[in-house]
Amino acid sequence: MVQADDPGFLLLAGAPNPGWALHAAREGRTQVLGSLLPGTLPKDSLPAALETSTDPVEAMSAITRLCWGRYVAFIHDPERQQTSLMRDPSGALRAYIWKVDGLTLITSGLPDALLDSVGVRPVVDWSALATLTALPERVGSLSALTDVTIPLPGTIYHVGKDGITTQGIWSPTAIARQDPAPLADLPRVLANCIAGWGNGSSPVSIELSGGLDSSLILGGLARRKDRPAIHALNLVPGATGGGESRFASAVADHWDVPLVEVGIHPSEIDYMAHMERSRPEQPLVYGLDHIADQTSVRSADLVGATTILSGQGGDAVLFQPRGPHIAADRLRAKGPGPTYWRLLAESAASTNRSIWSSLWRSLRPLPMRAAANFQPALAGALLRAQLEAGLPLHPWMEEAKRLPPGKRLQIAMLSNCQIFHAPTLTSAGLRLAHPMLSQPVVEHCLRVPTWELVPDERDRGGARDVLADWLPPAVRERRTKGEATGFYSRAIALQLDRLGPLLREGHLVRQNIIDRAALEPMLNGEALLWRGDHSLLATLVAMELWAQRWA
């Protein structure tokens, strides 16, 4: 369906669904596609704001200031022969820029129908895939397809006759440098965002693990006076590791919400089944567990839910990591007062370190990274050269270098959260939303000092305090975090007869991204169960399966 047709600018969009709408201004030269939710002003104020300016920076800055949601904005300037686009700061709506045969295509995906109509297919950029193998958290920001770019959320891309230039108007670092925000305001901010995603949907399906974050999402929706019908889904592992069903039951009982428990066994997980699915635009680091993905879709279908909510992103925004970086942030901001020494003691207790080790790490913080699980000894020649030269950081992390270590780690984790917007089954039709990653929640928590988010040795203690009314006692007072290592280690061990040959003879080895000899010891089932390499092996499998589909 043609939405706009100007010289040098053609905008096509499918029929609207409950997950998105179209907002147009300036006779169709400004277009915003997706879910626009009200921020500081009513949504109706947006078209008026866009009509007043032809400058893309001014107009898109107004969008990020007035609204939030899941959208991509376009502004076309026929006189300058330029089209500007921006993904919303949360990155919730996927977009890809593909340069092909003198054209620049901005698309939400690269389905076979589009590739067939263009007559050209992008090919694998092996150097980029090597980077993603070592930095899987970058799959949502770095494309491993030639001539394909994943636009950075909150950055304007000006596409013109002379190429593409970029201009950042939103970044986590800029938000973190603003005046501190009171932690006490978090319930209001989070409640508004949960209501925004659930607005107009009934019933709503919630992926309820029993952990803190998904419990807060359910509680935030269930406590509303205008609450919709809510159905919760909890996956119950059929082997040791990862089960949190008793906490999920406590949450569902507390709010009188129906809970469906679905048992799964490691033998049901079949990573090779991804070879039969459509070709994803990026490796499925998130969504590799197709059983969880399919079960969530089926559960929502059974109750007629058009919206699925998850608690993904809570570890980052509410700041789960405990350690000396908390005390380091306090020291940098306030000096070595009593609170600093108390935080050092809490850090030592929560990480089983000595007070002297915690003191040293607060004075000399280590480099921050969200998912440091790659083993350099595993690298083949191509990846080894990249490691020696230094892997490219996420642009948000480059900008955050001068922030205190705790805030740098929080931004590293937010960068990693882009993987949750992957092309999974649950995300089809814009059905899945992650309220914790809503722009207002992200901005608020970036402005809350880390020592308030983590005031003691409790996991996300700040959130547990200010959101206590949203949780049953069992979850509110919980001191541990769910761990699925044992379950997924067993799942991979049961598949090694097929995954082993896939990796040994696959593209990662043939393209010198992974060294086969170094890989071999990891493909031992017994060693896998006690060493806990499942996360790294799952990453290798995700990269290899994706390469098989595109190479």
How buried is 488 (Cβ within 10 angstroms: 0-12 exposed, 13-18 middle, 19+ buried)? Answer: buried
d(CA 40, CA 444): 14
Q: Tell me: pLDDT of 370 over 50.
A: no
Question: What mean pLDDT do residues 230-249 have?
Answer: 81
Mean pLDDT over 13-19 rounds to 61
Helix (H) or strand (E) holding 82: strand 82-87
Q: What does the pLDDT average to over 283-310? A: 93
Q: How many residues does the chain have?
A: 551
Mean pLDDT over 216-224 rounds to 96
- Decide which of 549 and 322 is more confident: 549
Q: Is the pLDDT of residue 17 over 90?
A: no
Beta carbons of 64 and 439 less than 8 angstroms apart: yes
- Tell me which of 22-26, 123-127, 147-151 is least confident: 22-26
Residue 260 has pLDDT above 70, yes or no: yes
Contact 108/76 with Cβ under 8 angstroms? no
The model's pLDDT over 29-67, given as tens digits with 9 standing for 90+, comes to 788 888 888 665 455 566 666 776 678 898 899 889 888
Q: Does residue 480 have a pLDDT over 90?
A: no
Containing H/E element for 140?
A: none
* DSSP tag of 92: -
pLDDT of residue 161: 82
Inter-axis angle of helices 324-334 and 355-363, nearest 10: 50
Is a pLDDT exceeding 80 seen at residue 11? no
Q: What is the pLDDT of residues 485-504, one digit of tens each?
A: 678 888 888 888 999 999 99
For residue 376, how many other CB atoms are within 10 A of its CB? 11
Half-sphere exposure of 287 (CA within 13 A, CB side): 26
Closest CA to 326 of 492, 455, 216, 429: 455
Percent of the chain with pLDDT over 70: 89
Q: Which residue has the higher pLDDT, 29 or 189?
A: 189
C-alpha 368/C-alpha 325 separation (Å) is 10
pLDDT, tens digit (0-9, with 9 covering 90-100), for 325-365: 898 999 999 999 999 888 888 888 877 888 888 887 878 77
Q: In the chain, what are the domains? A: 2-170 (3.60.20.10), 171-480 (3.40.50.620), 485-550 (no CATH)
Does the pTM surpass 0.85? The reply is yes
Question: Which residues have a Cβ under 8 Å from the Cβ of 529 and sit 6 or more positions away?
Answer: 486, 489, 490, 493
pLDDT per residue as tens digits for the range 76-126: 888 888 899 999 999 999 999 999 888 888 998 998 888 988 899 999 999
